Amino acid sequence: MATTTNYGWTTPDDTALVKDGAAAIRTLGTSIDTTTFNNASAAIAKTIVDAKGDIIAATAADTVARLAVGANDTVLTADSTTATGLKWGVAGGGKLKQFVSATSSTYFSTTSSTYVDVTNMTATITPTASTSKIWIFCQSADSYIPYTPGGIEYRFLKGSTVIQTFYYAQVRASVDEFRGWFGYYLDSPATTSATTYKLQMKNNSTGGPTYWNYNSGQASFILAEIGA
């Protein structure tokens, strides 16, 4: 008997008698029915996915499952600890995700021996991922310390929590000092909620007020989110 090219189904020969036609058709029909049934049983049902962006992934040999679409701006990465060996995560470590800044072109002075907020040196950032870090950078054109012995102390706060302190002492006796200042700190807020950072200072000099941004230059307070 002749057979088909791909599946090898049995078909009548060109010389087959007409009386054998019915049997030949039944044989061919049975072969088609069996092949179609087996292929359908082995097929992946479309009902396995139920949302835009879902993908099908293997959980073991000859076994598949749905992996739900990830959050916006996440990427698919390998992870042997998950059922599918895959997971959605934040793209690329070290990526700069956003900047927030505050600026000032006026001076700020204080005689307070306890910490006070520096005007305009406050900024709020909302991290896009709880694993992100926040790089804090602050600078002023110059600070002023009167000639009596003393200095200035600066510190960064996250909310009401002190996260970094800077000591800025007078180094020359009987001379007013004017020096530029900058400070930086890398924080791990572990949140996706809005987080406020600010600069505070206090006066450690007995000769009068100390100044931040004394000559009213361009001072800035910058927050940068860095992806984990």
Q: Which of 13-22, 45-54, 219-228 has the lowest mean pLDDT?
A: 13-22
On the question of pLDDT at 58 being above 70, the answer is yes
Whole-structure pTM value: 0.60
Q: How does pLDDT run across 148-189, given as a tens digit for each residue?
A: 667 788 999 999 999 999 987 655 555 555 667 889 999 999
**Do 126 and 192 belong together in one domain?**
yes
pLDDT at residue number 119: 94
**Do 134 and 218 belong together in one domain?**
yes
pLDDT at residue number 149: 67
**Do 119 and 176 belong together in one domain?**
yes
Q: What percent of the chain has pLDDT over 70?
A: 79
Q: Please name which of 197, 186, 143, 133 lies closest in space to residue 167, comparing C-alpha atoms.
A: 143
Other C-beta atoms lying within 10 Å of the C-beta of residue 62: 6
**Do 32 and 65 belong together in one domain?**
no
Q: How does pLDDT run across 104-128, given as a tens digit for each residue?
A: 999 899 999 999 999 999 999 999 9
**Do 125 and 154 belong together in one domain?**
yes
**Do 162 and 189 belong together in one domain?**
yes
**Do 35 and 66 belong together in one domain?**
no
**Do 128 and 171 belong together in one domain?**
yes
pLDDT at residue number 123: 98
The distance in angstroms from the start CA to the end CA of the chain is 67
- The CATH number given to whatever domain includes residue 170 is 2.60.120.760
DSSP 56: E
**Do 9 and 104 belong together in one domain?**
no
Kindly list the distances between the CA atom of residue 53 and the CA atoms of 47, 68, 226, in Å, as whole numbers in the listed order: 14, 7, 27
Other C-beta atoms lying within 10 Å of the C-beta of residue 124: 12
On the question of pLDDT at 8 being above 80, the answer is no
pLDDT at residue number 103: 94
The stretch 83-104 carries a mean pLDDT of 84
pLDDT at residue number 188: 96
**Do 83 and 151 belong together in one domain?**
no
On the question of pLDDT at 147 being above 70, the answer is no
CA dihedral over 222, 223, 225, 226, signed as positive or negative: positive
Q: Which domain holds residue 63?
A: 49-90
CB 200 within 8 A of CB 157: yes
Residue 167 or residue 145, greater confidence = 167
**Do 137 and 184 belong together in one domain?**
yes
**Do 119 and 208 belong together in one domain?**
yes
Last residue of a domain, one of 90, 121, 147: 90
CB 156 within 8 A of CB 199: yes
Tell me how far apart the alpha carbons of residues 228 and 94 are, in angstroms, rounded to a whole number. Answer: 6
The number of domains in the chain is 3
pLDDT at residue number 48: 81
Q: How does pLDDT run across 127-143, given as a tens digit for each residue?
A: 998 999 999 999 987 77
On the question of pLDDT at 209 being above 80, the answer is yes
